[in-house]
Structure 1
Amino acid sequence: MATRAYQDLGTEQAAVWDRFYAQFDFRPSMHRYPAITEPTPSVTWSLSSLDDDPGYTRLVEALHAGLTALVGDGSILCLDWQHPSYRVWPSLVGPDNIDPPGGPGWPLSPYPDGDYFVYLAEDFRFGTFGHPWEPSLCVFGGNLLDLVEAELHEALGQVIRRDGRQVTV
């Protein structure tokens, strides 16, 4: 019997988003950057280098591996602004699992494809925030950064903020 690697948050989704808005001072806007108060520690990369670039695969693989290592058999939240969001058990995601909707794999990418995408620890200690209009990816939480920062720097290059402060080049 196959194990479901994720489930729709359903009625829990509104409460999760309310908590996210409050904890990160989320301010959705196509013109205001950053859209959250980026926590400490955090690193925010520009995603502009990924236009038609193979770095996308490295980004996804590094984050998925880091999240899987951190939560073990536990779960994370995958939030898609204004759309269904999910609880995901990273250790169960893979080609041998049957998942809703659309087959095996993660329900969302860390790359913000037209909306804000958020990967988040159940206790909100670490995660990612993808801003589709900046375009950027903020990775926060010391444990997650320890696992993925070097790989993401190689894949993405340009850091635009550290701990919510602009980085000068």
Structure 2
Amino acid sequence: MATRAYQELRGEVTRVWDQFYAMFDFRPSMHRFPAIVEPTPSVTWSLTPLDDDPADVGLDRLTEVVQAGFASLVGEGSLLCLDWQHPCYRVWPRLIGPENLDPPGRPGWPLSPYPDGDYHIYLSEDFRFGSFGHPWESSLCIFGTELLDAIAADVHAVLRHVIRRDGRSAAA
């Protein structure tokens, strides 16, 4: 039997969302930002630089950086990919082939870190590090020391504009 690269969260999805709501004080809103209490450490970037990227080069690079960072940190383990109001997944990144080079049986990621119409969240199984994509603020929050150390410089090279650090305005 082949091992699957990702599996839809079914019976435990309510528990995972309940834990996320409680830990991050998640308040879904199209108008109130941020929608979570951003942990320390965290950096939140604006996604608006990707608006002027018709070939999606920046989006592809951002996705690659975030997914590679998670893959390096979880190793043989798994992570959670949450899509608000849609199916959510447990993902084993080591079983996912490089984009466009996937041999049969090695699917791509089920969800992008880019919030395409709803909140997209990547989380370590223990919720220690992750990303939170906010579709209406057009932002991406990366949190947790390990993940920030691994990808912050590359994310910044793509997005360039920091909105908040540790939940506080970067303009202040």
Tell me which residue corresponds to 1:130: 133
* Matched residue, 1:61: 64
SS of structure 2 residue aligned to 1:15: helix
CA contact (8 A) 1:4 1:97 kept: no
How far residue 52 of structure 1 moved from its aligned partner, in angstroms, is 4.4
Secondary structure of the 2:7 match is strand
Aligned residues of 1:2 and 1:97 also touching (Cα < 8 A):
no
Identity of aligned residues (%): 68
Q: Which runs of 4+ in 1 moved over 4 A?
A: none
Shift of 1:98: 2.8
Equivalent in the alignment of 1:26: 26
**CA-to-partner distance for each residue in 1:5-45, whole Å, 9 max, x for gaps?**
00000111011000000000000000000000000000000
1:71 equivalenced with 2:71 (yes/no): no
Deviations 1:114-165 (A, max 9, x none): 0000000000000000000001000000000001000000000100000000
Q: Which region of structure 1 is more displaced relative to structure 2, 124-133 or 44-53?
A: 44-53
* Structure 2 counterpart of 1:7: 7
User: How many pairs does the alignment contain?
Assistant: 165
Deviation at 1:3, TM superposition (A): 2.9
Q: Does 1:165 align with 2:168?
A: yes
TM-score by length of 1: 0.94
Give the match's secondary structure for 2:12. helix
Match of 2:51 in 1: 51
Q: Measure the CA separation in 1 of the matches of 2:58 and 2:3.
A: 30
1:81-100 matches, cutoff 5 A: 81-94=84-97, 95-96=102-103, 98=105
- Secondary structure of 1:120's aligned partner: strand
Residue 25 of structure 1 aligns with an amino acid whose one-letter code is D
Could you tell me how far 1:97 is from its partner in structure 2? 5.6
Contact persistence 1:5–1:97 (CA under 8 A):
no
- Aligned counterparts of 1:98 and 1:34: Cα–Cα separation in 2: 38
Residue 58 of structure 1 and its aligned partner are, at CA, apart by 1.2
Q: What secondary structure, in the 3-state scheme, does the structure 1 residue paired with 2:11 have? A: helix
Indicate the SS of the match to 1:7: strand
Which residue identity lines up with residue 58 of structure 1 in the other structure?
A: R
One-letter amino acid matched to 2:48: S
Q: Measure how far apart 1:57 and its partner are.
A: 1.1
* Runs of 5+ consecutive residues of structure 2 not aligned to the other structure: none
Q: CA deviation at 1:2?
A: 4.3
5+ residue gaps in structure 1? none
TM-score (norm 2): 0.92
Within a 5 Å distance, the mapping from 1:136-147 to structure 2 comes to 136-147=139-150
